[in-house]
Chain A
């Protein structure tokens, strides 16, 4: 007697997304840019260990080292995430591997979710690894809040989700290189552009409207607590933290929904 067991639709869906996820991760691990960034972080690690051996002159220098290491770790994790996310769709289209993939019982939404999840996971793993390389070797000569560290980690994780979502969206809208540059500019300078808009508006209704519209530019500095951590400041309040997490969620969900909408309508 033959018994056929069929997986439930939800499990089947998850395994399809999981397959895409795993494929992207495997491909990313083999790429040179990941190795280069880990190499640079390794150089920082060596430098920090040497400083520790020689002796760090004063607490301000140790804090500066810590800030530098954490900032590098966060920046490199975002770079890896961006480079992973932005090449998924264009490369598959160029290499014609997209067609057999979509010929399978795989919806474009599942495909997109798998790609995003893989880019996100790559970024998170990179972030955790690099943060460890940055945090561990530096001597802690001043007090730092563990609460702020946890908040910093959480907000950086969601900001990586933002980078992945924006990277995928822009890769559907424009050539790969242009998309990479634009998202990179938004990541590095989005906060400055928003601050610029704020500094040139008045307190009247027009000014408030301009500030509201400028709020649609992704401001990654809102999710960056590295300086707050190394400055020894207390944790954010619950409302402030939740507001920032909501902000990141908005910049993940909308780009992904829009990407799905664009991909469904795009002739391949």
Chain B
């Protein structure tokens, strides 16, 4: 009797347990949680610079911050420099970037007047440089040409950035400090940084997306690094990676933007234009109408640049396929949605000059 009671209890409990996976569909129906304070780039920078963060070293509230520290270390040959991640550049990768971000003067690849000799506006070189700047930092662009296994000395002046492991002169630990400098990757902070190939970061980005499929920047930057390998196979891998990102983050304008970029590299221009147009449409939906130009939880300068770049690329493709008048009409529609000055306003003015003649 006791045994049959136990069996009955297991069977009833088993029925309850069998229904447990239904909960994930309830959670999926309510959608992913809205972006919180922990994802605000300015908040990330502030906590990374705090004394507590320095004491704890690599300990962070989430895996994505940890992976970005790892990526920074990879680009610096494994050497741990003190946190110096700038808010605006945290969206992409760590860099000793400038403080603050002047939107009005920021270089979008300078569609308005950058000197490329006789290159026409919106040329392949100009737009590639512009697209690169909206996704990758200067360090990423420099290291993209380094092959795995190679190292390059960075001759740019990034200012003095101390290492986490102290120099001999500032280390009270004696032989223990000396051992740590010998055993762990370390370089005198007064010497130029040594960079290694960023493509070795790819497994970390893959890991980042496994642990958090809603981490959009991992998808975007991982796809960018795949693009730098410049083979058709890797471009298709990048498309597949972005496809997975879109599956978990439907309609995300940043992933769509990067997808347009990759399709453009593959010379699939029609699909690229569709991707840029969808990116622009979705980006406008997400962008707060009364955005004050400051980095916030929902919108920041990098996203603004990417949105403007997606609009710009759509206008340029429209010009190449349907002519200047159609492109001007599209550009005018976009400029009504974002404030001046922007690259889109610049291209609108140039297109207007071509259609109506120069302004007197």
Contacts A58-B50, A222-B27, A230-B38; is A250 near B9 (CB within 8 Å)? no
Q: Which of B14-22, B178-186, B317-325 is the contact stretch?
A: B14-22
Q: Which residues of A (36-88) have their CB < 8 Å from a CB of B?
A: 47, 51, 54, 57-61, 63-65, 67-68, 71
B38 touching A65, Cβ below 8 Å: no
- Is A107 located at the chain interface by the 8 A CB criterion? yes
B6 within 8 A of A: yes
Among listed A3-11, A128-136, A236-244, interface-contacting one: A236-244
Known: A195-B213, A222-B27, A258-B13. A64 touches B7 (CB 8 A): no
Residue from the set A51, A67, A251, A257 with the largest chain B CB neighbour count within 10 Å = A257
Determine whether A231 belongs to the interface, using a CB cutoff of 8 Å to chain B. Answer: yes
Specify which chain B residues have a CB less than 8 angstroms from the CB of A199 in the assembled complex: 209-210, 213, 244, 248
Chain B CB within 8 A of A196 CB:
yes
Beta-carbon contact of A216 and B20 below 8 Å: yes
Q: Does A186 contact B (CB under 8 A)?
A: no
Across-interface contacts of A64 in B (CB, < 8 A): 47, 50, 52-53, 61
Contact B50 A215 (CB under 8 A): no
Residues of B within 8 A of A246 (CB): 20, 23
**B12: CB under 8 A from chain A?**
yes
Residue of A nearest to B56 (CB): A68
A192 at the interface (CB under 8 A from B): yes
CB neighbours of B211 from chain A (8 A): 192, 195
- Total cross-chain contacts (CB, 8 A): 144
Q: Any chain A CB within 8 A of the CB of B33?
A: yes
Are A264 and B2 in contact, with the CB atoms below 8 A? yes
B37 in complex: contacting residue of A63, A203, A211, A237, CB < 8 Å: A63
Given contacts A227-B61, A232-B36, A233-B34, contact A250 B19 (CB under 8 A): yes
List of B residues within 8 angstroms of A60 by Cβ: 37, 40, 42-44, 46-47, 50
Q: Which of B37, B42, B209 has the most CB of A within 10 A?
A: B37
The one of A212, A243, A250 that contacts B16, using a Cβ cutoff of 8 Å: A250
B210 and A196 contacting across the interface, CB-CB below 8 Å: yes
Q: A61-B47, A65-B52, A195-B210 are in contact. Are A249 and B38 (CB under 8 A)?
A: no
Report the Cα distance A233→B37, complex, angstroms. 9
* B20–A250 CB distance below 8 A: yes
Closest Cβ–Cβ distance, residue B58 to chain A (whole Å): 13
Contact A261 B53 (CB under 8 A): no
Contact call B16/A253, Cβ cutoff below 8 A: yes
Residue B168, interface by CB 8 Å: no
Q: A65-B52, A240-B27 are in contact. Are A264 and B36 (CB under 8 A)?
A: no
User: Which residues in B have their C-beta under 8 angstroms from that of A211?
Assistant: 21, 24
Question: Once the chains bind, are B9 and A261 in contact (CB under 8 Å)?
Answer: yes
Q: How far is the CA of A142 from the CA of B38 in the complex (A)?
A: 12
Q: Is the interface of A mostly helix, strand, loop or mixed?
A: helix
Chain B: minimal CB distance from A134 (Å): 14
Give bound CA distance, A84 to B209, whole Å.
Answer: 35
Chain B residues within an 8 Å CB radius of A196: 210
The complex places the Cα of A246 from the Cα of B3 at a distance, in Å, of 27
Interface contact A257-B53, CB-CB below 8 Å: no
Give which listed residue, B7, B22, B27, B247, contacts A261 with CB less than 8 A: B7
What separation, in Å, do the CA atoms of A103 and B204 have in the docked complex?
Answer: 56
Assess the B38–A257 pair: CB atoms within 8 A.
no
* Bound form: Cα–Cα A250–B20 in Å: 6
Residues A215 and B24 in contact, CB atoms below 8 Å apart = yes
Residue of A nearest to B46 (CB): A60
Q: Give the docked Cα–Cα distance between A214 and B24 (Å).
A: 10
Whether A254 and B38, one on each chain, are in contact in the complex, defined by CB atoms closer than 8 angstroms, is no
| Distance in angstroms between the alpha carbons of A233 and B16 in the assembled complex | 31
Determine the distance from Cα of A192 to Cα of B208 in the docked complex, in whole angstroms: 11
Q: Which residues of chain B are near A247, meaning CB under 8 Å?
A: 20, 23
**How far is the CB of A250 from the nearest CB of chain B, in Å?**
4
Residues of A within 8 A of B30 (CB): 237, 240
A67 adjacent to B13 (CB under 8 Å): no
Complex Cα gap A222–B28 (Å): 11
| Complex interface residues of chain B between 44 and 65 (CB less than 8 A to chain A) | 44, 46-47, 49-53, 59, 61-62
Interface: A109 (CB within 8 A): yes
Nearest neighbor of A231 in chain B, beta-carbon distance: B36
Which one of B16, B22, B33, B212 contacts A228 once the chains associate, using CB atoms below 8 Å?
Answer: B33
Instruction: Please pick, from B17, B26, B47, B213, the residue contacting A239 in the complex, using a CB distance under 8 A.
Output: B26
Do B61 and A251 touch across chains, with their CB atoms under 8 A apart?
no
Mark interface residues in B315-356 (1 if CB within 8 Å of A CB, else 0).
000000000000000000000000000000000000000000
Q: Is the CB of B27 within 8 A of A254?
A: no
- Which 4 A-B residue pairings sit nearest by Cβ, starting from the closest? A215-B21, A231-B36, A257-B13, A254-B17
Enumerate 24 A-B pairs (CB-CB under 8 Å) in ascending A order.
A59-B43, A61-B46, A63-B43, A64-B47, A64-B53, A67-B61, A68-B59, A195-B211, A196-B210, A198-B213, A203-B247, A211-B24, A222-B27, A227-B38, A231-B37, A233-B36, A243-B26, A243-B27, A244-B23, A246-B20, A249-B16, A254-B16, A257-B10, A257-B12
Further contacts, 13 of them, CB under 8 A, given A68-B61, A195-B210:
A57-B46, A57-B51, A59-B43, A59-B46, A60-B37, A61-B50, A199-B213, A222-B27, A231-B38, A250-B19, A251-B17, A253-B17, A260-B6
